[in-house]
Structure 1
Amino acid sequence: MNVVITFFSELRRRKVIQTLIPFMGVIWLLLQIIAVVTPLLNFSPFIATSLTIFLFACFPVVFYLAWYFDITPQGIIVTEVDRSEVQKPLGVKWWIGFTFVLIGSLMLGSHYFNSARVDYAKRTEGLVSNITATSIAVLPFRDQSPDNDQHYLAAGVTEELASLLGQVAGLQVAAASAGFNLARQNLLPVDIARRLQVDTLLSGSIYKSGNQIRLRVELINAKDGMTLWSQSFSRNLSDIFAVETEIARTIVNLLQQRYLEAGSLTSLNSTASTDAYMMYLRGREQYRLQTTESIKEARRLFEQALALDPEYAMAYVALADTIISLAEGSASFGVLKADIAATLAEQHLAKALVRAPELAEAHAVRGLLLFYLQSNYDAALPALDKALSLNPNLAQAHLWRFAALEQLGRSQDAWQALQQAYRLDPIALTHQYNLAFKLAERGELNAAEQQYQQLIADFPKSPMGYAGLADLYTQTGELAASLDYWQQAYRLSPENSNYQQNAIGIMLELGLLEAAEQQTDDPFYQATLLLRREQHDELFTQMTFQLGANPEDPWIAFEAGWYQLLVGDKTEGIELLLQAHKHFQPADLLSMPMCSPALEIAWAYQQRQQADVATKLLQQCAASLPAPGPDGYQDIYRRYLNARLATLQHKPELAITELSAAVSQGWRQWWSQHDPLLAPIAQTAEAKALFGQIEQALQQQQTKAQALLQTRAN
């Protein structure tokens, strides 16, 4: 309180109020004069606004000066600090204070001046919106041409607007592909916005007749579906890029506080040839179909676009992307040798980057090339980071970055990249599948299950959602449900032998031997069938023949040895494992998720009292184990592996703990009670109880599986 009283006392003594009142009067008088003169002289209203901001920004400076100076009949003099002392001249501190006040006033005035300038510019253009938004999705434009034959042009406008808006910092733009996928589900715009988690939607239509186009665009509030702004644009087709940039600039100015001047957004997807652009758009239409035939057709169309305009940078990027898709590999369409595809793609990307160094898509596809075809993950990251610095809304670039980071072992960074890819495109099949898979890996099983179910709802004809659920249910011990989903995946993709193999594997695990035999006559499963039927003599006869026919094949020796350990002569089994070890390559010994056959071979050396070799193998196994998930989650294979490792390291209490965790999480392997590696703990009461739980759970799952198989058969 004393400080306040002292402050007001000083105000009176220094006559600050007496100075400020005339200053405010001068401001009022000037504003009145400006209000009268501005319309008479046809001055811009912004002049009055600017002068008002300037005068009020001067207020702190006037206050500061009034504190230290008095206006007297003798002129302006320094205010006395203490009447009992000789007046001292103002020193460095005063000048420092004055400098701070002056700079602060300038910054304050500049802030309000820019805000007023932006507001005036927006009002001049009629860009007044009642909401401020940070996210938007561009819905597929509708083709309203007379012949309804311009779908590719409408889709191209949609993609280009999303790309232009994506370049604006601070604005999250959902991937155009997400809008395409949701539009096919015939959802209302508000429902699409809710699924994409955006504040606003941009929709529109296109009408083309000859070389004339008319675009009708609408900006929609996602909360209530009300139209915030709409406008029509009629132009020549050759002006399509200018129209797109004008629309994108208008949207940004409507939704954000900033003001983008005309020409501040540039389309790097432009070409001087209208015919080349039309050819490029037809290629994009084929590319989106994602079949081998359509990708090959897309390549042909992009090459034609470049023949019409050899300077068309975006066509080079599209061609490179298409060639990468045509390279051999599990994730592509496999008609080109990988090295040839890499060389061709690199050549096209070099041409694109020479013509448009700031083209985000070019850097993104270059990152894909380095990652996918050249396995150069360290070099891929800078390319992808460059792409995202130019356009942070490239969902696919975030996904590729996730994959590269995974390969580099940077799991937490990879998880963040995947989440961002999903935020930008929560509909993409690959985004949903990878997110669900990583959620399961992190131990968030319920969330993973929901994500796989959503994937199935969005893509009911894709096997990936079914396969994901099948794998998840295997991890949790729900083998009957897993079998059902593996079979559904196989029905949707009968050429994928992996789905069939997993289904047969579960049938064998559950003892559904006749059902397994109905699925296949592949001799690969013969040994397992004999083992499950307890036809051990016939099994060992068959394995002896295989060993004789393939004397240096370590996997056959290992398999034969493993069967001997489970149900035959353990001494012979040990000998076979040691024999196999001589022929294994070092990299093959540590196969995950069970660190096999290194663990079994280490056990064999322990039985032969060769502790040094066994210890070395165990150390190699422990060193090769992936780190647990971010939340400490460990899957059932890792838990069971830990139990075996602990047993071999003579840690029985830890072995029981890990075995218990594996069983509680869903470990359901029938052979566990026969596992020779767990023999030291197998006769304990705790282990017997756990093996009993496995047996009981398998019986329950067998009953459920039989019912499901019967239902499907009917």
Structure 2
Amino acid sequence: MSFFHELKRRNVFKVAIAYAIAAWILIEITATTFPILKLPDWTVTLVTVLVLVAFPLTLIFAWAFELTPEGIKKEKNVDRSESITHVTGRKLDFAIIGAMAVAIVFLLADKLLFSESVETNDVETVATSQSIAVLPFVNISSDKEQEYFSDGITEEILNSLASVKELKVAGRTSSFAFKGQNQDLRRIGELLGVKHILEGSVRKSGTTVRITAQLVQVEDGFHLWSDTYDRELTDIFAIQDEIANEILIQLKARLFDEEGPAIVSQRTDPEVYEFYLLAKQRIYDRTRLTIESAAELLDRAIAKDPDYAPAYAQRGIASLLLSESSYGTIPDAEAAVQGKRYIDAALEKDPQLAEAWAALGLYHKDRPAEHEQGIDALTRALSINPNLINASHWLQLTLRDSGNPRGAQQILEQMMQRDPLHAPGVFSAVSAFNLFGQEDKAQALIDRFRSYKPNNVQLLVTDSMHHLYSGKSAEALRLAEQAYQLAPTDEVMQAWVTFGLLQTQQVERIAEEGVDFLKIEALDLLGRRDEAFELAFELAREGDLWSLFALYNRADRSRELIDYVEERWPGLDTFAADYPHDEFGYNVMAEITLAYSRTGNMERFDDALLLVENAMSNLSGQGIDNWVFMLENAKYLALAEEYDQAITQLEQAIDRGYRGYAPIATTTPMFEPLRDDPRFVAAEAVMIDNINVERQALGLEPIDPLNQFWH
């Protein structure tokens, strides 16, 4: 008998199969449950090694021994005529089948249960041993106005540490959230996801400065290192470098396998450096007056040290932020030229300056045709300094505006890991989660932020936006109005109040109190079309074309829409380069498509429809899943004469939270062919009922929009 047949007769192959399946189940259960039980990581490895070592021993045992009615005997002592290996083989068959069934059940459970639980934790901050937060150094100078100096020193040390790729450094916003507070370091470490904290103080007197710093282990409060530096201000850069490098030495001794790179700050005159630090703090305030003040300080810094690249980079950022479309009054084109001049100078003086590359990304961000250049610049900035929160924020906005919301979401999740208390980042991350239909993740992020800043105005508007995505319009409006009361001059807050008013059909209030781009439709609804067109033309001059195009089509003036486009752009491709689709769809191109259909230019209609189709296909492929996208997709399908699918998408949009003006076919003429379709009529009735439920929650009378407006 051959060796192969003897292996089969002794059931060695079946034992091997049964063992392999059982071993896989054991390892998977171990890998899943041991972390939950808080067992050390090495225990999982130990189980795996033991299972692998036992495998050949099991096969040897199966070859050398046989199971008999009298028990286990050596195979050579069993008479072949009395052997029951065939019976044992059948038992092993059943064992293999049973083990495979268990494995399949475990696989399904892992996919349906464990994977979901892991996914919902994506936004949680995870503390690694190679992690640190730099808390704001306390200003103990006699002059309290010197606080900008201690804040600046803190930020420069933070940025120096952030340049070490192996080290996770909590972002500036989150670290500075604890300024002036005396919170337990373990609580801070838990919130920021770090294992170490650097804290200290700064005393500045005349031309001398004393800086104390101490590195603390979060888990037990143990002081790993502390030191005091008494220096002349001319040595301020040496102090920063000395502190940052000493921290790396201390961390390396405990955490790193290799020595980290030496940190060297860019030198300048002490007075220039003070101008620079104060200017950066004022730019963070994001108001016209503080940014203008920062620009003046940076001009003084540049005049005194024309070679100090960081001052040029911040001056470029200040110029861009002082444009009319941002925080200032400088015409956009002039601000762009001015800002670019400073940015180019910064990069010429220091090609490795992260803040200069970030500034270049900001310059390209608002130019749709230059989004790729902006993405490249911002990516390079973050490769040099991953903690530049503004660069991360501008990058996710550029990715979103360039039609890559999935990429934007990935950047936002990284931002939340590094800077979990950065309020604009939280707003954008919640928006991104809702964009992809991940309402649970959005709610978890809101709850986590609320636990630290329960009355934050940004939190209120973020929560309002989250409620609007889910169709809870009444609560969304209440939250937005609370935020607007706290920030009555903030147009962003006003916009979210207007969205809440729209979703609850408070048309008169929108016409009087709403933001301009939402006011246009309300004015038209109330029969004030001339006022609506006047405002729409004003917005078009500022670059917002959708309001005007939608109004042209509602007013049955589609020919004028076509003339407007063809007089300014040689073709639809050039128009699309200037006005690409956004993260919800391609509403402006959908209006152009409808206009070409109405004017009988079917060749251009086909071209425009293809651009809309490509946009919707791109977004669908990325997993966009919310009622705004469904509504835009319904418009596209109606234009493509896919009427049943269009109604299905509209039904789903209404079910998920769409609360728009009615009659829908009047406000959105793409749906005109569906006006009398029974399914369309029923969907519209459901939407009106939903609106009245929300109005009732606000104490408002129900409305009958089918007979109330547009007559």
Residue 699 of structure 2: aligned partner: 706
Q: Where does the alignment leave 5 or more consecutive residues of structure 2 unmatched?
A: 1-126, 567-571, 703-711
Is the CA contact (8 Å cut-off) linking 2:313 and 2:359 kept in structure 1?
Answer: yes
Residue 334 of structure 1: aligned partner: 328
Letter of the structure 2 residue corresponding to residue 151 of structure 1: E
More displaced stretch, 478-487 vs 354-363: 354-363
2:247 match: secondary structure: helix
After TM superposition, give the deviation of residue 338 of structure 1 in Å: 3.5
Residue 404 of structure 1: aligned partner: 398
Deviations 1:521-575 (CA, angstroms, capped at 9, x unpaired) = 999969857957xxxxxx4xx6699999x99x99889748747xxxxxxxxx6xx
Letter of the structure 2 residue corresponding to residue 361 of structure 1: E
After TM superposition, give the deviation of residue 424 of structure 1 in Å: 2.1
2:660 to 657, 666, 669: 669
1: CA distance, partners of 2:673 / 2:630: 18
1:433 match: secondary structure: helix
After TM superposition, give the deviation of residue 412 of structure 1 in Å: 3.5
Letter of the structure 2 residue corresponding to residue 265 of structure 1: A
Residues 1:373 and 1:327: Cα distance change in structure 2 (over 3 Å)? farther
1: CA distance, partners of 2:423 / 2:212: 31
Letter of the structure 2 residue corresponding to residue 392 of structure 1: P
Residue 265 of structure 2: aligned partner: 268
Residues 1:647 and 1:307: Cα distance change in structure 2 (over 3 Å)? closer
Residues 1:336 and 1:506: Cα distance change in structure 2 (over 3 Å)? closer
Residues 1:557 and 1:139: Cα distance change in structure 2 (over 3 Å)? closer
1: CA distance, partners of 2:581 / 2:406: 24
1:636 to 619, 627, 631: 627
Matched, 1:693 2:686: yes
After TM superposition, give the deviation of residue 170 of structure 1 in Å: 0.5
Residues 1:579 and 1:497: Cα distance change in structure 2 (over 3 Å)? same
2: CA distance, partners of 1:188 / 1:483: 36
Letter of the structure 2 residue corresponding to residue 701 of structure 1: E
Letter of the structure 1 residue corresponding to residue 229 of structure 2: F
Higher relative contact order at CA 8 Å, sep ≥6: structure 1 or structure 2? 2
Residues 1:340 and 1:207: Cα distance change in structure 2 (over 3 Å)? same
Is the CA contact (8 Å cut-off) linking 2:298 and 2:315 kept in structure 1?
Answer: yes
Deviations 1:299-341 (CA, angstroms, capped at 9, x unpaired) = 22222233333333333333333223223323xx223334443
After TM superposition, give the deviation of residue 703 of structure 1 in Å: 0.4
Residue 44 of structure 1: aligned partner: none
1: CA distance, partners of 2:581 / 2:403: 17
Residues 1:215 and 1:482: Cα distance change in structure 2 (over 3 Å)? same
1:426 match: secondary structure: coil
Matched, 1:380 2:374: yes
Is the CA contact (8 Å cut-off) linking 2:495 and 2:514 kept in structure 1?
Answer: no
Deviations 1:578-631 (CA, angstroms, capped at 9, x unpaired) = 676555556599987675587678779889999777656544432343633566
Letter of the structure 2 residue corresponding to residue 325 of structure 1: L
Matched, 1:215 2:206: no
Residues 1:471 and 1:708: Cα distance change in structure 2 (over 3 Å)? farther
1: CA distance, partners of 2:549 / 2:320: 40
1:149-228 alignment to 2 at 5 Å?
A: 149-183=145-179, 187-228=183-224
1: CA distance, partners of 2:157 / 2:599: 71
1:657 to 648, 651, 666: 648
2: CA distance, partners of 1:293 / 1:247: 34
1:671 match: secondary structure: coil
Residues 1:518 and 1:454: Cα distance change in structure 2 (over 3 Å)? farther
After TM superposition, give the deviation of residue 158 of structure 1 in Å: 0.7
Residue 419 of structure 2: aligned partner: 425
1: CA distance, partners of 2:208 / 2:163: 28
After TM superposition, give the deviation of residue 701 of structure 1 in Å: 0.8
Residues 1:290 and 1:545: Cα distance change in structure 2 (over 3 Å)? closer
Instruction: With the length of structure 1 as denominator, give the TM-score of the two structures.
Output: 0.66
Letter of the structure 2 residue corresponding to residue 299 of structure 1: A
Letter of the structure 2 residue corresponding to residue 706 of structure 1: G
1:409 match: secondary structure: coil
1: CA distance, partners of 2:622 / 2:291: 41
Is the CA contact (8 Å cut-off) linking 1:433 and 1:455 kept in structure 2?
Answer: no
Is the CA contact (8 Å cut-off) linking 1:578 and 1:604 kept in structure 2?
Answer: yes
2: CA distance, partners of 1:191 / 1:608: 65
Deviations 1:54-75 (CA, angstroms, capped at 9, x unpaired) = xxxxxxxxxxxxxxxxxxxxxx
Deviations 1:244-283 (CA, angstroms, capped at 9, x unpaired) = 2222122112223558889x52433322x22332333333
1:135 match: secondary structure: strand
Deviations 1:396-420 (CA, angstroms, capped at 9, x unpaired) = 3333333333344344333323322
Residues 1:220 and 1:259: Cα distance change in structure 2 (over 3 Å)? same
After TM superposition, give the deviation of residue 441 of structure 1 in Å: 0.9
Instruction: With the length of structure 2 as denominator, give the TM-score of the two structures.
Output: 0.66
Residues 1:509 and 1:379: Cα distance change in structure 2 (over 3 Å)? closer
Residue 410 of structure 2: aligned partner: 416
Residue 348 of structure 1: aligned partner: 342
Is the CA contact (8 Å cut-off) linking 1:253 and 1:259 kept in structure 2?
Answer: no
Residues 1:664 and 1:276: Cα distance change in structure 2 (over 3 Å)? same
1:134-153 alignment to 2 at 5 Å?
A: 134-153=130-149
Matched, 1:305 2:318: no
CA RMSD of aligned residues (A): 4.4
Residue 391 of structure 1: aligned partner: 385
Q: Where does the alignment leave 5 or more consecutive residues of structure 1 unmatched?
A: 1-130, 533-538, 564-572, 710-714
1:228 match: secondary structure: strand
Percent identity, aligned pairs only, is: 25
After TM superposition, give the deviation of residue 383 of structure 1 in Å: 3.1
1: CA distance, partners of 2:431 / 2:532: 38
Q: How many residues align?
A: 554
